[in-house]
Structure 1
Amino acid sequence: MISLILLALGLCASATSIPRQASPCTFSMSAVGEPNGTIVEDTIGENRIGGGYPQGVYYMNNHSLFDSLNHNCLIWPSTLQFQCTQGAAGFTNFTLVDDGNLMHDASEKWFACPAAGPGDDGSYNIFSDALQDTTGCEKVTLRTGGFSCSAEGRPPTSSSASPTASPTAAPTSSATQSCPTDISGGVYQFPHLIVPTSSQAPTTSFGDSYIAYISSTNTTIFNFDIPAGYPYNESCALLFLFPFGSNLDPSAGQYYFSGIEEEEGENGGLNFALLQTYATSSTTYATIPPVAADYGKTEIFPGNNYTIATFQCPQASKVGFSVSSVGNVELDYFQDSAPSPIGLYIVPCQ
C-alpha cells in the first residue's frame, strides 16, 4: 500500500511532484481528420492510415520513436515519409503535446496521401507537413493512446490557468448505441492529466502523476481532452479496464488492490463522478471541483472491463472525472494502454 500522506511528508517547500515510475511508454495511434482511422504498419515499415496491415505499436525513448520491432521511426529525409526501418540512420525529434497529438520537429501537422503501387489497399501513407507535392493529400493529426508517454517532451501545462465549466455530459440510452467495451479498436482517449489528492493533506498539491491512488483517504482526478468531429460527434462511454495483474504489460508494473474482501464484506467499490470542471496540476483535495454527475459505485474485480457511463460526447472540450473509494477499497495502479491495458478511458460509440 502506498500512502500519499507519507509522500506528502517528504515534499519540500517547492511542492515537488510524486516521483514518476520510469517506464517505456507504448501506444497505438489513430489519425484525426479526413481521412481518419487506425495507424497500421506495413511489412517495410511504412506507417499508414487504414488498410489491411496490423495495427502499429510504438514506444518512445526520450524524443526518439520506435516500433514494436525496435526499428527507428523517422521522417525519411529524401521522401519526407513517416516510416520505421531497421538500421535507419538519422533522427526526428518526436514529442507529445497536452492533447496527446504526436509532434515531429515541433509540428503537429501531417499529410495523408493515397498509397500507390503493389501495396495499394485504399490506405494512406503519412508524410511530414514539409511535403511540397501534396496533390490528393489531406492534412491530419496523429493522436496517441498511451498515458505513459503523455508528458514526453510536451510543453508544460500552466497551473495558473482557470478551469472553465465543462459541458454537461448528459446520459444517453445504451439501447440505441453500440459502445466498445475495451480499447482494442484503437480509437479511444486516455487521460492527459492524472492528479492524486489526499484528505490527510487537503491543501497539498501532488501534481501530475502516472499513478492513480484510490483509497479511503486518496481521490484521483482524471482529465480528458475530447476532440471535435467524427467519431466523437455522438455518444461516448467511460470505461474502466482492470486486467489480472499477471496479464499486465511489463511497462505497467504491478498494481496494488486490496478490495475483494472490502467489496464483499463492506459493500465497497470505486465511485466514479463527472466533475463540473477539470483539474489542474495544482489541484488539491480541498479544491476538487464539485460533482456534476455522480455515476455511483462500481464493484471491480480483476480480469474485467467496466462501462461506467455513456453520455453525449463533449466535443472539443476538456472534462474531469473523480475516482474515490467506497468501503475502504484501495487500488494503486500505473495507467497504461499497452497490451492488456489498465485504467480509465473514453471511447466513441457508434
Structure 2
Amino acid sequence: MISFVQTLLFTTAVGAALRSRQVNDGCCFQLASVGMVNETVLEDHVGDLLLGGTFQQGGFCLDKTTKTIQDSLGHNCFMRGPDYQFECYQGAVGTTAFDIAPPKADGKSRLTYDNDSGVFYACPIDSESYDIYSSDKADKTGTPNPTVTTRQSSPQKCAIDPSAPSLAPYQLRHGNSSVPSGSNDTSAEVLISRNYSTMFDYDIPSTFPPANTAGKSSLCALQFRMPVCTSLPKGYPCYSFSGLEQEVLSNSGMTFHLVDDDGNATWNSTELHQVFPGENTTIGTFECGQAAGYDESRKMSWHVSSVRDFSLEFLQAGVGQSAQFQNGIGAWIVPCQ
C-alpha cells in the first residue's frame, strides 16, 4: 500500500468539551487533511488518530508555551519512534513539539511539529480509513507497523459475515483465577478479574455450520463481541470493565485456554487477547465439523482468565435469562467465510 503525503489544517472547535476546557497560552481546534486524502481527523477508543472512518471527530488543544497538544480527554499527543504514528494516550508524555504555522494565501493555518514543514503521511488501513504518520517514518510505501495495543491476530485469516449463524455457550462455570469449579446452566454472569475466571462450555451440533457449496468442512472461530453500551438491546445491562487506558498502558487482557475439545483443535492457549468497546475480536480459529468417532454434538470449553489486572463483568447474551438478547456482549462460535 502506498502512503499519501498530507497537510493537516486547523478547523473550528465546536465540541462542548472543548469549549469548557482551559488551556494556558493556547487554543483549541479540530483538524482536517488536504492532499490526495481530504478527511477530518477522527480519534478511536484507544487513542489512534485516523483520517476517515466511523469514529468521532477529534478535538485538540495546543499549549503554546510547552508546544504540546492534548486531545479533548486531556491525553497527550505525540509521534515518536520507532513507529512515528500520530497518537494520544493517557499518561503518555507528549514529546513531539507542535506548533501552528502562519496562515497561507488560503487563510488556513497548518499544524507543524519538531520545527519541520508539517508534512504528514496517510497510510491506508482499509477502503475508507488511514493512519497518520510523521515524515520521519522510515517505510513510506509499505503497510504500517502494528500499533502499541499489541492486539494478537488469529493463526488463520477469518472473515466473518455479520449475519452468520452464531452459537452462544450452553453454560458458564465460575471459579478462581486458576481452577474453574462449579456450574450453573442458567446463570449468564461472567466475571474475569485477578481473582476470578469463567469457563465457557459449548455444545456444537453436527449440523453447524450449514454445509457450504463444496460440501467440505470449513473454518470456524471463537469471536468476542463487545458492543458499546448505548447500542445494547433495551433492558440488557451494560458491562463493567477496567478501562481502555488500563488495558493499553498495562498491556492487559485475557487468555482463552482451550481445556476441552472432542476434535483436538490446534489452539494457542497462552496468547494475550485485548477487547475494546465497539469491536468484534477474533480470538482464534479451528476446523469446523465433528471428529472421527463422534456422531453427536462436539463439546468445546475455554477457561478465560485475566492478565495483568484486567477485569470485565457482564451477562453473556444467549445464556439463561439473557438468552433472548442475541446481540449483547460475550463469546460466540461463528463460521468463517
TM over 0.5: no
Structure ranking higher on relative contact order (CA contacts 8 Å, 6+ apart): 1
**Under a length normalisation based on structure 1, what TM-score does the superposition of the two structures give?**
0.42
**Under a length normalisation based on structure 2, what TM-score does the superposition of the two structures give?**
0.43
